[in-house]
Structure 1
Amino acid sequence: SLLTAVQLALGEVIGAYAIAILDKEHPDEIVAARKSSPLVVGIGEDEFFLASDATPIVEYTDKVVYLEDGEIAVINRGEELKVVDLNNVEMTPEVKKVELNLGQLEKGGYPHFMLKEIFEQPDCIHDCMRGRINVDADNVVLSAVIDNKERLLSAKRFIIVACGTSWHAGLIGKQLIESFCRIPVEVEYASEFRYRDPVINEQDVVIAISQSGETADTLAAVELAKSRGAFIYGICNAIGSSIPRATHTGSYIHVGPEIGVASTKAFTGQVTVLAMLALTLAKEKGTIDERYYLSVVRELNQIPEKMKEVLKLNDKLAELSKTFTYAHNFIYLGRGYSYPVALEGALKLKEISYIHAEGYPAAEMKHGPIALIDAEMPVVVIATQNALYEKVLSNIQEIKARKGRVIAFVTKGDMVISQIADCSIELPETIECLNPLITTVPLQLLAYHIAVCKGMDVDQPRNLAKSVTVE
């Protein structure tokens, strides 16, 4: 039979796969199987659907079965779904209801999904915090932390594993957790972590961050860390995806489906969850001053409204972007919490406009990149008010002395950098540790408008995929 043939063949297969097989002699049967690559079966009225995730099939059904590694779905017309493993042992499929609606999968009047998702961020961050920050905005609680309090509080070290944009969120998470909780945190590229025989033990907590929950390298890093006895905490957006199923506990970011390939609202959602994780842990450990804790929680609650203020700059950034379509290179600079934002801003520009861009800690300029500065090199500097403001001012003066063009993102009311920079964009003031949630948004808009001016397909940039399910 087709099923037996598939089971025998897969016993010989090496590597990852998600496959659907038909036999032209028996057109009423499909056999589908997966290993290390996502596959879901949608169950409709007298019909079935196969896809890598629930998003493309929610238009037809909200009932899905997520296949596990080594499982095979046997679909026959007019019969119920049957799931077996490679040894023909029958499994009981768990049917899950997808909490998606079609409105979330449409552009809603926006020219691109990416712009829609940038503008959704205030509501998404509000949804992310709902039920986690109380109505008085004086306490934040993540149930995953409370349910696993002993294991998390006894951790000697946190290791964050992620790829791409999620890795940048991890760099911000590192600073938040170390600052609030006084626990050492390492941030690793999952692709490197899984292959370098890392030192992991049972007192470590590994935080795996992934928008799709299907990132192959991050999933492999999770399995490696689990095999060494580490406790795994997942931060994902896609409910029911592989990483949430593989981790011990975790938190969803609840920002809704992200269609644009270049991640926007998922990044700010990840940073929000990491901030809430750090605050919850710090309060349980007693490592954060009560007044400071209160000020951060209250400010976090205000972030959605401040994001709405930033989004009013859209037209100004659209106009500004027209002058930079000529550029072949960009440099993005930031310090402290703004350094990962510089990396993320540069990545967005690379992904959708195909302009080469690099992010650096501003102080590293003089260790090499300053050689690139001339009148043709735009330099984006995140220069909001913080403990390192004077240092960033000095870095801007170094760039201007070499005729560089500076686009500065400053705090509203700044009268110093605004006088020096070629262009300054004023942003609402916030507490330093939450600055990334404000400063990221205009960088997303800048990258978007430059790409649109260049006539690029911003939602589906070349060579990129939304869920990176291969190595």
Structure 2
Amino acid sequence: MCGIVGLTGSVGERIGLVLRRCLERLEYRGYDSAGVAVVNGGVITVRKGRGKISEVDARVNFTGLNGVSGIGHTRWATHGKPSDENAHPHTDCSGTVAVVHNGIISNYRELREQLEARGHRFTSDTDTEVIAHLFEDYVKARLTALEALREVVSRLRGTYAIALLYAGEPDKVFFARNVSPLIIGLGNGFNFLASDIPAFLEYTNRVITLHDGEYGFITPGSVYVERGGEPVDVKARVRVVNWSPELASKEGYPHFMLKEIHEQPRALRDTWAGLDTDQLSKLSDLLLKARRVFITGSGTSYHAGLVFDHLLSGLMGLDTHAFNSSEYKRYVKLAGDGDVMVAVSQSGETIDTLMAVRVFRRLGVRVIAVSNIVDSTIPRESDYQLYTRAGPEVGVAATKTFTAQLMVLNALAATAALGGGVLGKDEYGLIMGELEHLPDLVNLTITSVEAKARHIASRLASKASAYYLSRGLGLPIAMEGALKLKEVAYIHAEAYPAGESKHGPIALVEGGFPVLFIATDDEYVDALEGNVMEMNARGALTIGVIPAKHQPRFGKLLSEVIQTPNVSPGALTILQSIPLQLLAYYTAVLRGHDPDKPRNLAKTVTVE
């Protein structure tokens, strides 16, 4: 859940300044504390502390550091409270080793007790510090640094992405990866390590994705990778990332979240362009022949999966089981040969989803991964891959990656409906045509509803709670809208099937209580109209996200209306997500919160 970076060589600027810039691009992964370590003249200097990167740098000035090699870290606490002592990097007793780490070392207590018994002195409560002391032990036993790293990795249990400095070999940054993401950035006269590509994209767009169990080192002019003591040739893995540095910066927007909401037309256009009709046909056949289809994800990705679940089961009658990936153990007994799982994860590294994928594959389930990151762990460990092309998403709250997921899943569902005879060729052509031209409608929607969303946000900003109600295909979008308001505006928001509001939730509704209605399926419009009237009778502030064709029907009933273009229900889930994102964003800003860095949250959840 943390962000790490390493650099060896020169990019023409002080290494401390470069490390700070890289960490700022990773701060979405955690912002409890930050720090850097550099090695120069055989001496390691560490500067770190509790707080955001800018706050820590102002106190300790790691920007001013220079050296041959350096590592940096921005933390989301898992072991040990946020504090100066628990901030990374951590060092050994002699100060000749410094390490940063993302993940959890599950056997750290056992290792720490063994090390303390041998006289090692610990200065933090973290699991990470055992890595530095283990490394120290092995180099004192006259092992080379690489041999020491090999032994350290053999002792660790759990998840980790590690970057390590050793004063005895100052031109190297050592690394190891297991489950937690780690990427190499290749430069001319310098090389990077990082948790995510945007960290170093300003300096290079040539990358190598490391795989589980791999470790080694980078120097200014080389990369060495091992697995199980055997060298790994990674030349074939080198790829060029098409993201421009500007895509990972704010480009004049006040927040990344707003920038990424506005990037959705481009993200959807690129996602559509990356879809392969032959692959969609192959995967749709797989779904149609499956005994059961499991659909899993966490948070926003789970909501995208629920849309897919509705399309496959509610419209096609397939036997589907959608679940939060953290609850995968409840469904294990149902799984076996002949089943298919669709695993949705924007990062491709979500630990709960990865665990579900691994367990279900061992039972003979074939897995289709939907992810935004090429060659990330979940796609790599799955049987089939479908990629969104949303580009880097820095804001913690998912926006463009969610709508890109919906586009991919809508296209796959439509292709399966054609193959299953639910859709004729003409109907299929109309739906796919809608999806192809959806980027233009998304652009139109952003332009036409943004001012209205800002106005409604001014009415929501003073509220303590809200309901999001819908029926059918709109329910997952209501759930996503409520999640967004909770995530960034810190307003308690709950989504319910509109018919369930009478079974308890309506007891809280009184004058001015906000209730948002999302109208998606035509078959539920009559019932939804009745639900609006029930809330009006209790004085609620009723807000609707309504297709244009239903404006005459709902316009006079609702306190506020946001109108979206008329498209088929599947495509409408994408369009209706846009105003809900804008509403959450502007409500957060009006309440004085930073929507890019919601408290207690991180972008990629890599711990169970």
- The TM-score range, normalised by the shorter chain, is over 0.9
Seen in structure 2, the aligned counterparts of structure 1 residues 43 and 298 have a Cα distance that, compared at 3 Å, is closer
Q: How far did residue 368 of structure 1 move?
A: 1.1
Task: Report which structure shows greater RCO (CA 8 Å, sep ≥6).
Answer: 1
Aligned to 1:239: 374
Seen in structure 2, the aligned counterparts of structure 1 residues 27 and 131 have a Cα distance that, compared at 3 Å, is closer
Aligned to 1:71: 214
- Provide the C-alpha distance between the structure 1 equivalents of 2:599 and 2:207, rounded to a whole number of angstroms: 30
- Provide the C-alpha distance between the structure 2 equivalents of 1:180 and 1:126, rounded to a whole number of angstroms: 26
Choose the corresponding residue for 2:589, options 438, 452, 457.
452
Residue-by-residue CA offset, 1:428-465 (whole Å, 9 max, x unaligned): 21222322111111111111111111111111212211
- Provide the C-alpha distance between the structure 2 equivalents of 1:385 and 1:200, rounded to a whole number of angstroms: 32
- Provide the C-alpha distance between the structure 2 equivalents of 1:177 and 1:234, rounded to a whole number of angstroms: 17
Does 2:569 correspond to 1:438? no
Task: Tell me the matched-pair count.
Answer: 461
Q: What residue ranges of structure 2 are gaps of 5+ in the alignment?
A: 1-143
Choose the corresponding residue for 2:226, options 63, 84, 106.
84
Seen in structure 2, the aligned counterparts of structure 1 residues 4 and 205 have a Cα distance that, compared at 3 Å, is same
Task: Point out the more displaced range, 384-393 or 288-297.
Answer: 288-297
Q: Are 2:296 and 2:341, in contact at CA under 8 Å, matched by a contact in 1?
A: yes
Q: Are 1:180 and 1:288, in contact at CA under 8 Å, matched by a contact in 2?
A: no
- Provide the C-alpha distance between the structure 1 equivalents of 2:265 and 2:170, rounded to a whole number of angstroms: 49
Q: Are 2:290 and 2:339, in contact at CA under 8 Å, matched by a contact in 1?
A: yes
Query: Counterparts in 2 of 1:124-135, with a 5 A limit?
Result: 124-130=267-273, 132=275
Q: How far did residue 30 of structure 1 move?
A: 2.3
Q: Are 2:181 and 2:349, in contact at CA under 8 Å, matched by a contact in 1?
A: yes
Aligned to 2:486: 350
Aligned to 2:533: 397
Residue-by-residue CA offset, 1:62-96 (whole Å, 9 max, x unaligned): 22221111110222455x211112x3111112322
Matched letter for residue 9 of structure 1: V
1:288 is paired with a residue whose SS is coil
Matched letter for residue 226 of structure 1: R
- Provide the C-alpha distance between the structure 2 equivalents of 1:338 and 1:240, rounded to a whole number of angstroms: 32
Calculate percent identity across the aligned residue pairs.
Answer: 38
Larger Rg: 2
- With the length of structure 1 as denominator, give the TM-score of the two structures: 0.93
Does 2:442 correspond to 1:304? no
2:171 is paired with a residue whose SS is strand
Residue-by-residue CA offset, 1:243-292 (whole Å, 9 max, x unaligned): 22111112111121111110011111111100111122232333323343
- Provide the C-alpha distance between the structure 2 equivalents of 1:339 and 1:384, rounded to a whole number of angstroms: 9
Seen in structure 2, the aligned counterparts of structure 1 residues 167 and 150 have a Cα distance that, compared at 3 Å, is closer
Aligned to 2:184: 41
Aligned to 1:142: 277
Query: Counterparts in 2 of 1:370-409, with a 5 A limit?
Result: 370-383=506-519, 386-409=522-545
Query: Counterparts in 2 of 1:251-330, with a 5 A limit?
Result: 251-311=386-446, 312-330=448-466
- Provide the C-alpha distance between the structure 2 equivalents of 1:399 and 1:173, rounded to a whole number of angstroms: 30
- Provide the C-alpha distance between the structure 2 equivalents of 1:123 and 1:405, rounded to a whole number of angstroms: 34
- Provide the C-alpha distance between the structure 2 equivalents of 1:286 and 1:247, rounded to a whole number of angstroms: 28
Matched letter for residue 224 of structure 2: K
Aligned to 2:471: 335
Q: Are 1:234 and 1:249, in contact at CA under 8 Å, matched by a contact in 2?
A: yes
- Provide the C-alpha distance between the structure 1 equivalents of 2:401 and 2:523, rounded to a whole number of angstroms: 28
Q: Are 1:325 and 1:453, in contact at CA under 8 Å, matched by a contact in 2?
A: yes
Q: Are 1:310 and 1:428, in contact at CA under 8 Å, matched by a contact in 2?
A: yes
2:217 is paired with a residue whose SS is strand
- With the length of structure 2 as denominator, give the TM-score of the two structures: 0.73
Q: Are 1:180 and 1:278, in contact at CA under 8 Å, matched by a contact in 2?
A: no
- Provide the C-alpha distance between the structure 2 equivalents of 1:376 and 1:220, rounded to a whole number of angstroms: 44
2:196 is paired with a residue whose SS is coil
Seen in structure 2, the aligned counterparts of structure 1 residues 146 and 319 have a Cα distance that, compared at 3 Å, is closer
- Provide the C-alpha distance between the structure 1 equivalents of 2:416 and 2:428, rounded to a whole number of angstroms: 11
2:475 is paired with a residue whose SS is helix
Task: Point out the more displaced range, 99-108 or 192-201.
Answer: 192-201
- Provide the C-alpha distance between the structure 2 equivalents of 1:194 and 1:90, rounded to a whole number of angstroms: 37
Does 2:255 correspond to 1:119? no
Does 2:495 correspond to 1:359? yes
Residue-by-residue CA offset, 1:392-447 (whole Å, 9 max, x unaligned): 01111111112221111222252232212211222221222322111111111111
Aligned to 1:27: 170
- Provide the C-alpha distance between the structure 1 equivalents of 2:201 and 2:192, rounded to a whole number of angstroms: 10
- Provide the C-alpha distance between the structure 2 equivalents of 1:273 and 1:303, rounded to a whole number of angstroms: 12
Q: What residue ranges of structure 1 are gaps of 5+ in the alignment?
A: 133-140
Q: Are 1:182 and 1:287, in contact at CA under 8 Å, matched by a contact in 2?
A: no
1:459 is paired with a residue whose SS is coil
- Provide the C-alpha distance between the structure 1 equivalents of 2:581 and 2:330, rounded to a whole number of angstroms: 32
Does 2:324 correspond to 1:189? yes
Which segments of structure 1 move beyond 6 Å, counting only runs of 4 or more?
Answer: none
Q: What is the root-mean-square deviation in Å for CA atoms of aligned residues?
A: 1.9
Residue-by-residue CA offset, 1:140-184 (whole Å, 9 max, x unaligned): x53333455764442122111100000000000111223554322
